[in-house]
Structure 1
Amino acid sequence: MRSFLPSLGVAGALTACLVSGSALAYATGQTGHSGKDSSLTCASSMCHSTTGTKPTVTLEGPASLEPGQTGTYALVITGGPGVRGGFNVATDGSATLTAGSGSKKVSGELTHTQPKAFTSGTVRFDFTLVAPSTGATLTLFGAGNSTNGNNEDTGDASNTATLKVKVGDGGGDGGGEDDGGGCAAAGGVPLLGAALLLLGARLRRRDA
């Protein structure tokens, strides 16, 4: 019994350290929680609680790009506990993301290198996206975490956002335009037939 009770005390202390340090575990960023997989977000990562006031998260940048063009984007976190913020951005398709200041790229996704302090209730993470070489419609996925800076998993909150980016023709096969041309061409056949019938009728009248 004597050896058992101290063991419980050690285990309890270790658990407390893990819990209190969970917010610090990913202070240098985490990927895989952008919301691209709806079951994996900052709220589900277990390193921050969801008890704080939710911030507003937006993705800013052009909604259309030409193939191969580079666009400048930003994930913006507004409100919430509003002391420090972190983020994770991912995209589907073959677009290439490039990290901006205070950010890094890990496994094709972007995240912060260190939590960034809010200024006037807002924190911003800039990045760029290079569009693929062919037409496509991409989706940017972003998660933003607004923390109270107490280095614990209490009182923080996060939110997610998405942004559709059309590249070139959006990946369409031009079927709509082909259909329009087909209708116009088909419409010309009856007109030609009517003209021939009218000419034939005139010729018959002359012969009569």
Structure 2
Amino acid sequence: MRSYLASLGAAGVVSACLVSGSAFASAGGMSGHSGKQGSSLTCASCHTGGGGSPTVTIQGPTTLAPGATGNYTFIVRGGPASGAGFNVAVSDNGGTLNPGQGSTKLSGELTHNGVRDFSNGEARFDFTLVAPSTPGSVTLYGAGNSVNDNGTEQGDASAVTTLNVTVAAGGGDDGGGDDEGGCAAAGGAPLLGAALVLLGTRLRRRR
């Protein structure tokens, strides 16, 4: 009798973990499933059975200056497409992630804080990466869900992606080239004016 009750108690604990894990994954997101910790630790470890796999991408700069902040977007396309969730992590050699609207930071990683609706065939999650202070490279790991929003983990589909970011002096695109061109053109105007004044002075002397 005692062993039966112990088994029943253990089963109850496991069931509670599964239920709470499912609810947490659907509504509040999860960390540790970006693929950084291994191919078996992604959204696919729970969400399965979807008819078609989505595609996921991370858009943003592939070079950053040390300590600079880059703007990135995690995009989910395809799959059941009734809603989407994500988990993004950065490699251990540096970099700090900060969530955008509709996402949160959990154990140093980023995830959704509510199921994101699709718009124009995709779901987007914005975030930023603050590069480490020393040159090198970091990797962004991302996993995304495309869900059927039926309240369970069945019938969903997921995919993973990575993005390598080089951290180097002069990294990032700040549009400085256009500004430099504009400054050079403006700088020529005073020189031209000075030349005209000098020419006018010489003409007066001749008269």
TM-score normalised by length of structure 1 = 0.69
Conserved 8 A contact 1:50-1:158: no
Task: Find the aligned partners of 2:140 and 2:87 in 1 and give their Cα distance.
Answer: 11
Q: CA deviation at 1:37?
A: 1.6
Match of 2:204 in 1: none
Identity of aligned residues (%): 51
Match of 2:98 in 1: 98
Conserved 8 A contact 2:50-2:79: no
Residues 154-185 of structure 1: CA deviation (Å, up to 9, x unaligned): 1100000100000006xxxxxxxxxxxxxxxx
Q: CA deviation at 1:139?
A: 0.4
Map 1:1-208 → 2, pairs under 5 A: 23-26=22-25, 27-38=27-38, 39-44=40-45, 46=46, 48-92=47-91, 93-168=93-168
Gap change, CA 1:146 and 1:136, over 3 Å in 2: same
Q: CA deviation at 1:20?
A: 7.6
RMSD: 2.5
Q: CA deviation at 1:23?
A: 3.8
Task: Find the aligned partners of 1:19 and 1:52 in 2 and give their Cα distance.
Answer: 23
TM-score normalised by length of structure 2 = 0.70
Gap change, CA 1:22 and 1:70, over 3 Å in 2: closer
Task: Find the aligned partners of 1:23 and 1:121 in 2 and give their Cα distance.
Answer: 25
SS of the aligned residue for 1:90 comes to strand
Task: Find the aligned partners of 2:105 and 2:24 in 1 and give their Cα distance.
Answer: 18
Structure 2: which 5+ runs fail to align?
A: 170-207
Q: CA deviation at 1:22?
A: 5.8
Conserved 8 A contact 2:50-2:80: no
Runs of 4+ in 1 over 6 A off after TM superposition: 17-21
Residues 96-155 of structure 1: CA deviation (Å, up to 9, x unaligned): 100000011111100011111111210000000011111011100000000001011211
Match of 1:198 in 2: none
Gap change, CA 1:53 and 1:21, over 3 Å in 2: farther
SS of the aligned residue for 1:155 comes to strand
Counterpart residue type for residue 44 of structure 2:
A
Task: Find the aligned partners of 2:42 and 2:60 in 1 and give their Cα distance.
Answer: 22
